[in-house]
Amino acid sequence: MNTTVMDAPPPLPLDGRPAWKRWLVDSPLARIVIFAALLAASLTLFNFALKLAGLPGAGLTSMTPASTLRRLVMIIPFVLSYWILVRFIEKRRMAELAPSRAPMGILVGLAGGALLFSMIVSVIALAGGYQIGGYNSDVAWLAQIVMLGIAPGITEEIVCRGVLFRIVEEGLGTWAALVISALFFGAAHLGNPNATLWSALAIAIEAGLLFGMLYNVTRSLWLCMGLHAAWNVMQGSVYGISVSGIAQKGWIAPRISGPDWLTGGSFGAEASVVALACCSVLTVVLVVVAVRRGTLVAPSWVRRRRGQSTA
């Protein structure tokens, strides 16, 4: 079995600047801070512009046309901030979002997300926790696909995998990046309705670790975005299960019963041990793939000691 640790992405070019100046801009911590500042500034600007345009903010449960349009537009600050970071700070090609990789990455991600969540619901149903009670003909498909799928799929993957996981991995290595990005991802859901420490931890383990390893193995944000979007849409729009604590009206009107550890309770199936188990198995499979392919990244000081390129 090949257990070679993969080099991190190549370092930023040395351009004659003093070391402290290079560290101030090029170091992993500095780039994360720069992205956060860019995102905060662009979100403020876009929020102000949308308010002037008559599109005020709305709650997470709002599915009105105005709320949907606003949510769609608010994807732009995330993409713009990431593009500026990659193009002008890191000065590299954005391979993880290369247009040529989009069709296959998105399609595989969508199919994988739909299959994965359907498998989770099937297991819960076999255990008696989920039954079909009827069907809804008036599902707000477009609004839900945008609000549940497209928007969080793009924005959360840019922040958690494109910035946090990728950049932390360059400095501290894959394992630290997995833990830090997963904990951040879980903690980000603590403010959702019906959230608990358990639900946040479950999301961190099942989704944070899974998406992190998926990015490590594929180096594709498209695939992560597709899987994330499909998971949410299948959960809410198709199976009618709460998405991260937010109740949804899906195509299926389910009858959910049984202990919270099985069904996830009011938070949704993401807090179910079934989802935790299924996703953990996939994460382990991806770890095995990563070890065999040599895609795991060692901490920067280990790479320096081995004479490898630093990031």
Can you tell me the mean pLDDT for 156-183? 97
Farthest-apart Cα atoms in the chain, separation: 68
Quick one: pLDDT at residue 141?
93
Percentage of residues of the chain with pLDDT beyond 70: 89
* Nearest CA among 254, 203, 261 for reference residue 231: 203
pLDDT score of 300: 87
Judged against a pLDDT cut of 60, whether residue 8 lies above it is answered with: no
Query: In this model, does residue 311 exceed pLDDT 80?
Result: no
Digit-coded pLDDT (tens) for 89-112: 999 999 999 999 999 999 999 999
pLDDT digits (tens, 9 = 90+) for 46-67: 999 988 888 776 666 677 888 8
pLDDT 10s digits, 178-234: 999 999 999 999 999 999 999 999 999 999 999 999 999 999 999 999 999 999 999
Q: Supply the mean pLDDT for the chain.
A: 90
In a domain, 30, yes or no: no
User: What's the pTM?
Assistant: 0.90
Token digits of residue 47: 């929020």
pLDDT number for residue 60: 64
Q: Is 222 within 8 Å of 101 (Cβ atoms)? A: yes
Nearest-angstrom CA–CA distance, 203 and 189: 8
Q: What does the H/E/C string look like for the chain?
A: CCCCCECCCCCCCCCCCCHHHHHHHHCHHHHHHHHHHHHHHHHHHHHHHHHHCCCCCCCCCCCCHHHHHHHHHCCHHHHHHHHHHHHHHHCCCCHHHCHHHHHHHHHHHHHHHHHHHHHHHHHHHHCCCEEEEEECCCCCHHHHHHHHHHHHHHHHHHHHHHHHHHHHHHHHCHHHHHHHHHHHHHHCCCCCCCCCHHHHHHHHHHHHHHHHHHHHHHCCHHHHHHHHHHHHHHHHHHCCCCECCECCCCCEEEEECCCHHHHCHHHCHHHCHHHHHHHHHHHHHHHHHHHHHCCCECCHHHHHHCCCCCC
pLDDT at 9: 52
Q: How far apart are CA 26 and CA 66, in angstroms?
A: 40
20 is a domain residue? no
- Distance between CA atoms of 149 and 308, rounded to whole angstroms? 40
Q: Which of 3-7, 19-23, 190-194, 288-292 has the highest mean pLDDT?
A: 288-292
Residue 128 is predicted with a pLDDT of: 96
Whether 88 is covered by a domain: the verdict is: no
C-alpha–C-alpha distance, residues 45 and 310, integer Å:
36
| Tally of structural domains, the chain | 1
**What is the residue range of 177's domain?**
96-305
User: So what's the pLDDT on residue 22?
Assistant: 67
Q: Is the pLDDT of residue 5 over 70?
A: no
Residue 66: predicted pLDDT: 83
151-173: buried (b, 16+ CB within 10 Å) or exposed (e) per residue?
bbbbbbbbbbbbbbbbbbbbbbb
Domain assignment of residue 6, yes or no: no
Q: Is 47 within the bounds of a domain?
A: no
Is residue 41 scored above 60 in pLDDT?
yes
Domain-embedded: residue 54: no
Determine the pLDDT at residue 6. Answer: 40
Average pLDDT over residues 241-246: 94
Cβ–Cβ < 8 Å for 65, 143: yes
- Please give the pLDDT value at position 17: 61
58 inside domain: no
Beta-carbon neighbour count of residue 93 at 10 Å? 10
Q: Is the pLDDT of residue 25 over 80?
A: no
- What is the average pLDDT across 236-247? 95
The answer on pLDDT for 40 being more than 90 is yes
Phi, psi of 191 (to 5 degrees): -85, -5
Average pLDDT in the 101-130 region? 97
First-last CA distance in the chain: 26
Contact 147, 71 (CB under 8 A): yes
